Amino acid sequence: MSEIAKAERPLDLSLSEAELAAVREHVTSFVRAQTDAAGVDDVVIGLSGGIDSTLTAHLAVEALGRESVYGLVMPSEVNRAENMSDAERVAAELLEIDYDVVGVEPIVDEILALTPGVDPGPYDDETLQTAVGNCRARVRAVLTYFAANRMGALVLGTGNRSEALVGYFTKYGDGAVDCHPIANLYKAQVRQLAAHVGIPEDIVEKPASAELWADQTDAGELGMDYDTLDSILALHVDGHLSPAATARTIGVEASLVDRVRDMYERSEHKRQVPPGPKPLF
């Protein structure tokens, strides 16, 4: 089996056209309900040029109108130039929303310069590399909330179900938002809905990457493609099949199913509010 495992028979999580239309209406209604509940008219969203942020922004425009959606493109030195170009294309051409470009690297550099014992990168130490990558994500959260506070707006997140279940997001980074409109969709369903609403094919089919450090890809870091991950999550984590039965059903090693289960269990803290002790009285 290759390093990046691929299921021979991934579970079909496809939604019908009627189901996609229902999900589209469900998400746009959710966005309107969230802004109504908060007493605001506008939303802010970080645009990466990827499928999740593009779909979320598209649905926000459907829900609220383009004049109520503001985009932030926040490049760093590790972002691919084509992704940043796609992010601006989404804002300016596809959605025609107001947006600004704010680089995060000067802020990250200043944080690192003020931190004792941290030299400028690139970093060979994996722990430090991850810490710096997470710092970039948290700087983006600061920038989006600064914009939202100035505008009296909500911050829309772009997280999907697949990433949330395995903790594939930065705590208080891309996880620091007011709501996640596409939170119930597996990654494959995100792509289906994106195609359904008319997002360009090159964005729909683009390989996913959090781009927290150079040459990062989601599949490389997760050790499997999203079709395989979605299948394991649907059958074993969300479903009730055992690891062995799940592995047989989709044609992967049971150890891969165990690995996904471990990611789910170890990331539980990311899906909960910070804990405190139980009250004594």
Closest CA to 79 of 71, 87, 67, 89: 87
The rounded distance, in Å, linking the Cα atoms of 128 and 118 is 9
**Torsion sign across C-alpha atoms 129, 132, 134, 137:** negative
Q: Which amino acid is at 271?
A: R
The whole-number pLDDT of residue 4 equals: 43
Note the pLDDT tens digit of each residue in 145-190: 999 999 999 999 999 999 999 999 999 999 999 999 999 999 999 9
Q: Domain 17-211 is in which class?
A: alpha beta
C-alpha dihedral, 123 to 125 to 130 to 135, nearest 10°: -50
Instruction: Evaluate if residue 140 carries a pLDDT over 90.
Output: yes
**Residue that has been written with the tokens 């691919």 in this structure:** 80
**Residue that has been written with the tokens 């970039």 in this structure:** 136
The whole-number pLDDT of residue 3 equals: 37
The mean pLDDT value for 125-136 works out to: 89
CB under 8 A, 24+ apart: contacts of 264-269: 264/165, 264/166, 264/167, 264/233, 264/237, 266/167, 267/165, 267/166, 267/167, 267/168, 269/171
The rounded distance, in Å, linking the Cα atoms of 138 and 75 is 13
Closest CA to 33 of 179, 141, 150, 160: 179
Instruction: Evaluate if residue 111 carries a pLDDT over 60.
Output: yes
- Top-confidence residue, 61 or 127: 61
What does 35-60 look like in DSSP terms, one character per residue?
HHHHT-S-EEEEE-SSHHHHHHHHHH
What the block records as the tokens of 28 is 């746009």
The mean pLDDT value for 116-127 works out to: 78
Which of the four pLDDT bands, split at 50, 70 and 90, describes residue 83?
Answer: low
Note the pLDDT tens digit of each residue in 212-226: 556 666 777 788 999
Instruction: Evaluate if residue 1 carries a pLDDT over 60.
Output: no
The whole-number pLDDT of residue 214 equals: 60
The whole-number pLDDT of residue 142 equals: 98
Alpha helices (runs of H) in the chain, residue ranges in sequence order: 17-38, 51-64, 81-89, 105-114, 126-151, 161-165, 187-197, 201-204, 218-222, 226-232, 243-250, 254-266
The rounded distance, in Å, linking the Cα atoms of 8 and 230 is 13
If you average pLDDT over each of 60-64, 199-203, 272-276, which comes out highest? 60-64
The whole-number pLDDT of residue 275 equals: 87
How many residues belong to the chain?
281
With pLDDT > 90 as the criterion, what percentage of the chain qualifies? 76
Which of the four pLDDT bands, split at 50, 70 and 90, describes residue 192?
Answer: very high
**Angle separating helix axes 187-197 and 51-64, nearest 10 degrees:** 50
The whole-number pLDDT of residue 6 equals: 46
The whole-number pLDDT of residue 85 equals: 87
**Torsion sign across C-alpha atoms 53, 32, 68, 59:** positive
Instruction: Name the residue ranges covered by the structural domains of the chain.
Output: 17-211
Instruction: Evaluate if residue 7 carries a pLDDT over 60.
Output: no
The mean pLDDT value for 77-91 works out to: 79
